[in-house]
Amino acid sequence: MYFERFDPAKGQMLQVLDQDGRVAEDLRPDLTDQRIRELYERLSVMRLADQTALSLQREGRMGTYAPFYGQEAAQASAAFLGPSDWLVPSYRETGALFMRGLPLALLYRYWMGDERGMLFPEGTRVLPVEIVVGAQPLHAVGLSWGMMLQGDPGAAVAYFGDGASSQGDVHEAMNFAGVFRTPTVFVCQNNQFAISLPRSGQTAAANIALRAAGYGFPGILVDGNDLLAVAGAMTEALAAARAGSGPRLIEMLTYRFGPHTTSDDPTKYRTASDVEAHKPFDPLLRLRRYLGGRGLWSEQEERLILARARAEVEEAVRAAEAMPPAPPSDIFDYTCRTAPPSLERQKDELDAFLKGEAGRGAAEAGGRASRPGSGKPSAGRG
């Protein structure tokens, strides 16, 4: 019903929950208040986990990180994927991966520079994070096409940003999906900046959602800070894709409160007043107002929610930092189900090199030890 009622070519945007927490009941998705309360609690953990990651990077305990502060409702769209669906993320989907059920400690470990953070539990239908901007929609289309050919009942969901929407890979992916009617859902989180470039500097189109028509499938513009709108559009798009109706494009209009990554300084391209103007549309604030109006939230309960969230995040940090370092040969172990001879050969070469280095290191240490009082090896001195 959502895709039919809201035409992006007319500038229409799906919004169910306004900034004061009031609901348009005729648009309300099939979500109970209890489920909304549970989702709010998970979004609270998600936000604290994101803020903690930013702090860890500043302390030198984590590498470059891409925060999603302000985009929690859009990231929560992953909560509506079914067990047969695949999530295909970019580098900003830490929140979506968390909502998909991946352990927070693993996600932290990935951002600490350990590829084992992308070694997901068996049966998890999630592809590793894609760093190359705009590449992952192609992967999602190929994956969903294969699922379609094999009779797999699921869909593949590709996440990307408004900046990535200007990449040729994204257009190729949507064109292919439209021609072959693959079960693909394209989710564009339009946080209004491609690093420092505003959306208006990327495209003359009124919005990104209307591009879907050019590829022969429906698109919809959604208030991406409205969890109920996100849930309704996502659920409908997934159902259509699984039923064989082809792909869908959802543009989730949101706002990035923080930097593009921890290497970015957003004050160079926007003012503090610009950011403050978007604070009333904060997705968690809107949910609190909604739940409060239903008697399902209070300041006292908020303190309990945050205390539980803090304990969960702190335990994830401890677990991530307690993981022993991975051996260098790990780089060969998780790319292919069965390693081809070329990779096996390279792995053997690395092992031999490391053993040789270890042997030389031991010999040099022994040489130094043979000269009491000297910090230099004895070789060459007779």
Q: In degrees, to the nearest 5, what angle opens at C-alpha 266 toward C-alphas 312 and 191? A: 70
Any idea which residue has 């985009």 for tokens?
71
Any idea which residue has 């495209």 for tokens?
203
Q: How many CA atoms lie within 13 A of 230 on its CB side?
A: 28
8 A C-beta contact, residue 190 and residue 161: yes
Q: How many CA atoms lie within 13 A of 375 on its CB side?
A: 0
Residue of 251, 231, 218, 188 whose CA lies nearest to 17: 231
DSSP string, 56-101: HHHTTSS------TT-HHHHGGGGG--TT-EEE-BTT-HHHHHHTT
Using CA of residue 342, residue 345, residue 351, residue 356, what is the dihedral sign?
A: negative
Residue of 63, 49, 144 whose CA lies nearest to 93: 49
Residues ≥6 apart with Cβ < 8 Å to 102? 120, 121, 124, 126
* Dist CA 310 CA 305 (whole Å): 9
Side chain identity at 195, as an amino acid letter?
I
Residue of 175, 135, 180 whose CA lies nearest to 158: 135
DSSP string, 321-373: HHSPPPPGGGGGTSS-SS--HHHHHHHHHHHHHHHHHHHHHHHHHHHHHTSTT
Using CA of residue 159, residue 163, residue 165, residue 170, what is the dihedral sign?
A: negative
Structure tokens at 170: 């994204």
- Cα–chain center distance at 128: 10
User: Three-class SS of residue 156?
Assistant: strand
Residues that are catalytic? 256, 260, 269
Structure tokens at 15: 């919004």
Structure tokens at 258: 């923080």
